[in-house]
Amino acid sequence: MPTKEEVLQQVIDSGSLPTLSTVASKLINITGKEETTIYDITKLIAQDVSLSTKILKVVNSSFYNFPNEVGTIQQAVAILGTNAVRSLVLSFSFLNMERPQHGKGFNYERFWEESLAAAVASKLIMSKVSDGDPEEVFTVSLLQNLGKLILACAFRETYDQLLEEAAGSESKLLELEDEKLGANHAYIGAEAAKQWQFPESLTAPIVYHHDPDSYRGSDPELKTSIRVVHLAALLANIMYSGKPIDYHAPFRERAQKMFKLDAPSIDDILAKANVEVAQAADYFGLKIGGTASIPELLQEANIELSLLNMSYEQMNRELVQAKMQLEKLTAELEEKNTYLEGIANLDGLTEIYNHRFFQEFLDKEISRSVRRETELSLVLADIDNFKKFNDFHGHQAGDYVLKEFAALCGSLIREYDLLARYGGEEFVFVLPETDPDDAMIVAEKIRSAIEEHTFTYGEDEYHVTSSFGVASFIHGGKLRMKKSDLIEQADKALYSAKKKGRNRVELFVEKSGWFGRK
């Protein structure tokens, strides 16, 4: 029996590894560099007109539900952020790969449909369990079973026999792959992702998604991603395996065990899944048939199992009880959704407003500023060298600093100003009725307070600094400024602050670029 490394080499030599698009390959490379700007990403994506059109279609759909239309890729990158745009580019690249030749037992169309279902499920689950990046788990879940596609292309007839023998059991298929081929699809899929130079945050979940407990690393965010991808695979199997009952109980049990999810939260995920999958399929250009909801699938499966031993009267009684149970579930979901709407605008870690609420708030403040002809300023803040801080002191200390940073910043602004988490270690301030000079004073006051503050975590004390970029919406020739322009200007000023040594404030100025004060 060959080693798994030998199997991988055989797969590579056979030409069965899919080819990533040129734009996607370059995007993976440049998004890993700190000096990459919005302009760099925009310029790269704009090279592919078809891809740009598809991205704008999704961005302007209910998949993101922005209140105003996004007209250019530059606006999309400024509003969504790098990770979200990278996820869209990779998703379109994967879903539009050249369809390889494979055996009769492997259904290519069904494979991508199930993969998209897992990707959508991962975003639903992530929204319940963590404030982590849903775009990254979307991409991983889309690719979690890429190894199946590769093995089906490399060992056509043999792999058809394995699929038939496994009869829809994922655990059985993994055993057969190791036994008959020498390597399973989780290993092959992860190695393919490494060939594309994917970071560990994307490759590790592919390796461990069937058995998340086998991951022994210490990265809590990666551990969360692996578990979310694992649950997403179970949910996709509920929808597409033909054996929903076999995967329903494990999904509920593991969701509760891994993330302490309560029954209403789990029921909410299950109830939304089929609608979200159908919408996503339309956005990404996949044609899929109507998919019944998971409660309907489970109900039908239970009826089929009990029909052989159930009298007509018993069947009616069970159906009435099932209907009552579904009505009760609907009432519980409505009650839970009312509660969730109240906390949907908050960032789970820092307990300040999240990115989505910031976007909506800024839209309203720009409109109000235009109506009243008042000034409006935007400040982007970034904790300096935070990745190095996390690597050296650990993510728990890093999470504490983020929470304390947010609390300190919140105490230094006015009641009607907005502080929100923009993403990662970036924060954003919206300052209504504030001109550039006053915005610089506010930013400098916050910068100084952060520099002087002692972050005490347990017995340890830390000091951090932060950089600030300021941009202002000023009347008199700028009434037509768009939200994305204001964000981009603040981002450029922030980039200048970091480039000039960090721990400083920079102001964007239209005519001369930008200047700042430490």
pLDDT score recorded for residue 414: 93
pLDDT score recorded for residue 517: 45
- pLDDT, one tens digit per residue, over 332-343 is 787 777 666 657
Q: Which domains does the chain have, with CATH numbers?
A: 4-16+97-293 (1.10.3210.10), 20-95 (no CATH), 355-517 (3.30.70.270)
pLDDT score recorded for residue 513: 44
Q: Measuring CA to CA, how many Å separate 35 from each of 40, 204, 313?
A: 10, 26, 71
pLDDT score recorded for residue 387: 93
CB 451 within 8 A of CB 503: yes
- pLDDT, one tens digit per residue, over 43-77 is 888 888 888 888 888 888 777 777 788 888 888 88
pLDDT score recorded for residue 341: 62
Torsion of CA 363, 87, 218, 463, to 10 degrees: -40
Helix 108-129 × helix 263-283 angle, to 10°: 140
Spell out the per-residue pLDDT of the chain, length 518, in tens.
789 888 888 888 887 777 777 887 888 777 767 777 878 888 888 888 888 888 888 888 777 777 788 888 888 888 877 777 877 887 777 777 765 555 566 777 788 888 888 888 898 899 888 877 787 888 888 888 888 888 888 888 888 888 888 887 888 999 998 999 999 999 998 998 888 888 888 889 999 999 999 998 889 989 999 999 999 999 988 888 778 888 888 999 999 999 999 999 998 998 888 888 888 777 777 776 656 778 777 777 666 665 545 555 566 677 778 788 888 887 778 777 766 665 788 998 999 999 999 999 999 999 999 888 899 999 999 999 999 999 999 999 999 999 999 999 999 999 999 999 998 999 999 999 999 999 999 999 999 999 999 999 989 999 999 999 999 987 655 445 788 999 999 999 999 999 999 999 999 987 644 444 44
CB neighbour list of residue 193: distance below 8 Å, 6 or more residues apart: 143, 146, 202, 203, 206
pLDDT score recorded for residue 407: 96
Q: Which two tokens stand for residue 421?
A: 């988490």
Among candidate residues 437, 407, 429, 450, the one with its CA nearest the CA of residue 494: 429
pLDDT score recorded for residue 516: 47
pLDDT score recorded for residue 518: 40
- In angstroms, rounded to a whole number, what is the distance separating the alpha carbons of residues 169 and 45? 40
